Structure 1
Amino acid sequence: MASWKIKGQYMETCNCTMLCPCIWSNLAAQPTEGACEAAVALRIDEGSKDGVKLDGVCFVVMLHSPGPMGQGNMTVGLIVDDKASDQQVDAIRTIATGEAGGPMAALAPLVGKVAGIEKRPIRFTQDGLKFSLTAGELVDQACEGLESMVQPGQAIAIDNVAHPINSRLSLAKATRSKFHAFGVDWEDVTGTRNGHFAPFAWQG
């Protein structure tokens, strides 16, 4: 029996121009800007770990990769909603770092440094194909799904991808990315950068 389960909604933006080459190269390609900066945001709608309820907790995994992600040496930092208790923060930490198993455990060997944990007020919003997230002064990002012509109201999606969140991701353009956390400083509002969103269901 799984010791933890969480499910909810994810969104992210990164500094690569669309489409992020990590997706089609199975993490082998050079990021379009040389290094990758990404903010992977998750809203837990339902879940618990070892008896600790996690419903409603949001968190952000900040990623910096100095080159192709598959080569490793990534730096990651964790931002957790400031409303979370110490027990909830610790549960999220073990899940987000892969210590508790689950999808992030596959990414853990590529991480060279864990930069730390910050708590900030997090606001995660969704309006149709538009997503946005703020985490205090550290992250302010938004993306808009690329609408399908064959299924109006749904985003174009890409399947069978090597991504820890979900193997099926909706394609989106990042309309706003402002990262100032764990040594990452990146801002862009051009609408030319990459974004994704998807539901997620993890357990370990």
Structure 2
Amino acid sequence: MASDKIKTAAPIDSRHPAAERSDHGLTPWRMKGELVLNCNCTVFCPCVISLGKHPPTEGYCQTWGGIRIDEGHYGGEDLSGLNLGLLIEIPGLMARGNWKAAVFIDERASDRAYNGLVQIMSGKAKGTTGLFSVLVSEFLGAERAPVSYVTEGDTRHITVGKKIQGAVHPVRGADPDRDIVVTNTQYWMGPDITVATASKGKVRAFGRVWDFDGRSAEICQIDWKGPGR
């Protein structure tokens, strides 16, 4: 018996060709690039090894960071070439939550890219950064800003307008041509963390005035994605 259903054309899929398909109603996204963090720890951040079970060296954590997105998308919107600035404050053990966080989004981002990055960095987009929706109790806000992430030699220079001025470089090892790298970790940022320090780490934002020159820093190659992880 012939079907009386009307055949319709298949819907056009206009999503980014690299975007993974999801059945959960969330927008697929991905960010590949590099991240640096500089915090108030006096020696290398113990959170990398303890996964938040050991307190920061000062008993609490104050951190600024920068992200360079080499390749990325949020749904069909390209994120490649954009930079981000971060501000994170943790009152004690990282794993216990109650974080405060803010994000500075490259002023070159389109409105769709800006909104997507807010979803990603607030944890609402799930995936790698989904933990923010659990650990961050106060999202201080998102702001457009001129965010620069420049590498000169082995030093990463990050500026966010007049709010963050940072310079981070790897700590020297016995072999000057090889970085000191903590590998195969379960750290949320990525498995391989380069031990670094900041020659400059100044923050003037959201009422915070921080100076972390000479304090702990990390460099990490990232490959974050969602909503599946």
- Does the TM-score normalized on the shorter chain lie above 0.5? yes
Equivalences for residues 33-52 of structure 1 within 5 A: 33-52=58-77
What residue number does 1:61 align with? 86
The Cα shift of 1:22 comes to: 1.5
Match of 2:185 in 1: 161
Give 1:74 deviation, angstroms. 0.5
Alignment of 1:31-180 (within 5 A): 31-150=56-175, 152-180=176-204
**8 Å Cα contact 2:36-2:220 kept in structure 1:** yes
What is the alpha-carbon distance in structure 2 between the residues aligned to residue 104 and residue 158 of structure 1?
A: 21
Is structure 2 residue 213 aligned with structure 1 residue 186?
no
Per the TM alignment, residue 42 of structure 1 is displaced from its structure 2 partner at its CA by 0.7
Larger RCO, structure (CA 8 Å, separation 6 or more) = 1
Aligned residues: 201
Where does the alignment leave 5 or more consecutive residues of structure 1 unmatched? none
Q: Which residue of 2 aligns with 1:199?
A: 221
| C-alpha deviation, 1:76, in angstroms | 0.5
**RMSD after superposition:** 1.6
Question: Contact 1:61/1:96 (CA < 8 Å) preserved in 2?
Answer: no
Percent identity reads: 30
- Any gaps of 5 or more consecutive residues in structure 2? 1-19, 22-27
> Scaled by the length of structure 2, what TM-score is found?
0.82
State the AA in 2 paired with 1:128: G
- Using the TM superposition, give the Cα deviation of residue 43 of structure 1 relative to its aligned residue in structure 2, in angstroms: 0.7
Give the structure with the higher percent strand: 1
**How far apart, in 1, do the equivalents of 2:133 and 2:53 lie?**
16
2:79 and 2:179 map into 1 onto residues whose CA distance is: 28
TM-score (normalised: structure 1): 0.91
**Are the counterparts in 2 of residues 124 and 134 from structure 1 also a CA contact under 8 Å?**
yes
Note the C-alpha offset of 1:8: 1.1
Work out whether residues 129 and 153 of structure 1, in 8 Å CA contact, stay in contact via their aligned partners in 2. Answer: no
Name the larger-Rg structure.
2
Q: Which stretch shows the higher mean deviation, 67-76 or 29-38?
A: 29-38
